[in-house]
Amino acid sequence: MNRYPLWKYLLLIAVTVIALVYALPNLYPSEPAVQVTPAEKTTLLGTGTIETIKSKLAEASLSVKSIDTDINSQNAVFHFDTPDTQLAAQETIRKALGNEYKTALNLAPTTPEWLTSMSAKPMNLGLDLRGGVHFLMEVDMSVAISKALDRHKDEFRTLLREKKLRYLGIKKYNKIPNSLILLFKDETVRNNAQTALKREYRTDVDFAKADTEKGFGLTATLTDLNIKNAKRFILQQNIITLRRKLNSTGLSEPIIQQQGLERIVVQLPGVQDPSAVKEKLSGTATLEFHMVDEGNDAQQALASGQIPAGSKLFKERNGRPVLLKRKIILSGDRITQASAGFDEQQMPSVNISLDASGAKRFSKITGANIKKLMAVVYIEDKYITKKLDDGTIHKKRVTKKEVISIAQIQSQLGKRFMINGLDSPQEAHLLAEDLRAGALAAPIYIVEERTVGPSLGADNIKAGFNSVIIGFILVLIFMAVYYKVFGLVANMALTLNLVLIVAILSLMQATLTLPGIAGIVLTVGMAVDANVLIFERIKEELKNGLTPQAAIHSGYEKAFSTIADANITTLIAAIVLFGMGTGPIQGFATTLAIGIVSSMFTAIFGTRAIINMIYGGKKITKLSI
């Protein structure tokens, strides 16, 4: 009686070993670092720049612990022993490189390579534990509503054509917010159109008659539900784009959360310099393709200030003016994939893939303009915010446009093609990176920024760690004194439970915050509940006259349903907290839920295996419980 098959022992050993391996990276603390990147795409970060930095740091008697470089992504990270050395090194690097390069303070991981080769990484620490920067960003939702109106305008036209209902025009209606007005020459046609549109857009749009001097009108006003859905869609698109942008910077794991229907919270634990990421957050980069106006002289247009109708004046990177047709052949929102490479002459290029609609249009236009010149325009938008003395936020949009390539169309282009004329492989890499991230669905503005110092995070970590250790030790002492050998077995299970929680959080790459630590502390206290129920049941069975072996068996069997019920109800509460809560509440719910599941495994499966090893298959007359 009370024997486990070999596979159960092997399973317990395997779980323990895996948990130890994936919890181990958390014992290696992050260290202060300075990240160096080019300020402009035309600036290169090569071995010469790295050597210059090293020599300047040596002259200043600043010891570099290690250097991580990635030439392709134009990123170098210098590791240091102390925050004071880090700050002094940043100032030295700034003086040595000037404005051509950007520096950012960071906290870099120190996990050994043999652990990272197994994808073992430490869990992410939140802003309250690690320090970093916090941004509150507001989305310009007027763009969301404008896009929804434009979409409905196109849909209305299509529907009316299908129904063969002739209309005079569809435009935005300024007298009623969030509305369009459809004009008809005939009242009967207007009424038929209203019936058809109402049938199609029952909950999205409210329709009402509004006669004007120009004809019989029909207003279409977006419903509150439609506006809410449009805002939610734009917000989610911006969150996805921001995550792509920040993941490509090589900085700490970003925490990006929705706040209401118009704001986004961005937290970057470990980053100590807000200016290093502000540009990445609010800036967008995309491409436009235009035909070159070969029939007019750009220099003459620049000198006279008279731009030919249907054309627009741009400048190439060398400052030379060029006239392009205003009509956009293709815009960046049709790009589905972009990757850096080399053309047939081994010059840097970017390989572009288009969606079906973009490919069809691009193929048609290039096929009709073979042997003519086409230009690629690089467009970079930046949104700058400034807080005025009266507390209001002043928003300013800065747009940079330049022609990066002019080439003759040699053949009809389709879904995939190549952009060349770039200055370096690094520029090609960064351009492809920006195009993959995509443009923001609507402009965003930074309305609040905060920097949390690493010293405050260190104090929080120390306080949280102490709370876990103190609670853990007190529980260990109580169990050992009150339940003797069985208590020591429960303590082993509790230790494994704590390791399992850390390992699972690390595998999930979850972000641990102070509320998350609170969940772990609560779990430590609750984890022994199952063993207390089992051990008290064993004591009761012994008092009822059962043999020690039978009492052990009965204790585990009969207490299981009670343990399961209690833990399942707590798990349901944790799931509800996670589903309905945000931010800190979700962090607490996550650690609590993981702790409940792991404690069930260790308290029932783990302790039973060890008890069976100690007492199983033996003739015993007394239990140390």
| 3-state class percentages of the chain: helix first, strand second, coil last, to nearest 5 | 50, 25, 25
Phi, psi (degrees; rounded to nearest 5) at 395: -110, 135
Neighbours of 171 (CB within 10 A): 11
Cα separation of 123 and 137, whole Å? 26
For residue 136, the Cα-to-chain-centroid distance in whole angstroms is 15
Neighbours of 275 (CB within 10 A): 11
475 band by pLDDT with thresholds 50, 70 and 90: confident
> Contact 273/279 with Cβ under 8 angstroms?
no
Q: Which residues of 584-613 are buried (b: 16+ CB within 10 A; e: fewer)?
A: eebbbbbbbbbbbebbbebbbebbbbbbbe
Contacts of 155 (CB under 8 A, 6+ apart): none
Q: Name the token pair of 366.
A: 């290039």
Mean per-residue pLDDT, 2-24: 88
Q: Name the token pair of 307.
A: 């731009």
Q: Name the token pair of 551.
A: 């009492």
Mean per-residue pLDDT, 560-585: 83
pLDDT tens across 94-138, in order? 888 887 787 877 777 788 888 888 888 888 877 777 777 888 888
pLDDT above 80 for 520:
yes
3-state secondary structure of 256: strand
- Sequence spans of domains, the chain: 6-25+453-615, 31-108, 142-228, 284-439
- CA distances 116 to 17, 68, 110, 111, 452, Å, are 16, 15, 10, 7, 28
Q: What are the start-end ranges of the E strands in 84-215?
A: 101-108, 124-125, 132-139, 169-172, 179-184, 205-209
pLDDT above 80 for 492:
yes
Q: What fold characterizes domain 142-228? A: Aspartate Aminotransferase, domain 1 (3.90.1150)
CATH of domain 6-25+453-615: 1.20.1640.10
DSSP string for 53-86? HHHHHHHTT----EEEEETTTTEEEEE-SSHHHH
pLDDT tens across 183-235, in order? 988 888 888 888 888 888 887 889 988 878 788 888 999 988 888 888 888 88
Answer yes or no: CATH 3.20.20.10 is held by domain 31-108. Answer: no
Find the range with the poorest average confidence among 284-288, 293-297, 530-534: 284-288
Query: In CATH terms, are 6-25+453-615 and 142-228 the same topology?
Result: no
Predicted pLDDT at 316: 86
For residue 458, the Cα-to-chain-centroid distance in whole angstroms is 25
605 band by pLDDT with thresholds 50, 70 and 90: confident
Q: Let me know the angle formed at the C-alpha of 528 by 524 and 529, rounded to the nearest 5 degrees.
A: 115
Q: Name the token pair of 477.
A: 């002492």
Predicted pLDDT at 41: 60
DSSP string for 330-383? EEGGGEEEEEEEE-TTS-EEEEEEE-HHHHHHHHHHHHTTTTSEEEEEEEEEEE
The more confident residue out of 610 and 525 is 610
Cα separation of 243 and 360, whole Å? 30
pTM of the model: 0.63
Predicted pLDDT at 273: 63
Predicted pLDDT at 21: 93
Predicted pLDDT at 23: 92
Mean per-residue pLDDT, 447-471: 75
Nearest to 493 by CA among 544, 530, 541: 530
> Contact 50/35 with Cβ under 8 angstroms?
no
Predicted pLDDT at 232: 85
Predicted pLDDT at 44: 66
pLDDT tens across 544-557, in order? 888 888 888 888 88
CATH of domain 284-439: 3.30.1360.200
Cα separation of 221 and 209, whole Å? 11
- Enumerate the H helices of 438-547 as residue ranges: 454-508, 514-527, 529-543
Nearest to 608 by CA among 493, 480, 446, 460: 493
Mean per-residue pLDDT, 443-454: 76
